[in-house]
Amino acid sequence: VCSVNTFVKASVQIIIGQVDVRKQIVQLRNRPDILICTPGRLIDLVKNTQAIDLDDVDILIFDEVILST
């Protein structure tokens, strides 16, 4: 993500499960150009909050992330 921002002035946000959803909602208010997210968390945010408007996102990247604890 950092190397992309070196060449392209775009805001990037990563949204995944197992991270405080309230913090992610605050971050989404900055209207990122590029959104990297897990499908489950995106569905949760779209269905249960008004935090995200996909019309504002230029590039959407789905990724499955497994966090080990």
Average pLDDT, the chain: 83
In angstroms, rounded to a whole number, what is the distance separating the alpha carbons of residues 69 and 58? 33
- The confidence band for 55, taking pLDDT boundaries of 50, 70 and 90, is confident
* E strand spans, the chain: 12-15, 34-37, 59-62
Q: How many CA atoms lie within 13 A of 13 on its CB side?
A: 22
What is the mean pLDDT of the segment spanning 3-31?
83
What is the mean pLDDT of the segment spanning 34-61?
88
- The confidence band for 51, taking pLDDT boundaries of 50, 70 and 90, is confident
For the chain, the distance separating the N- and C-terminal CA atoms, rounded to the nearest angstrom, is 23
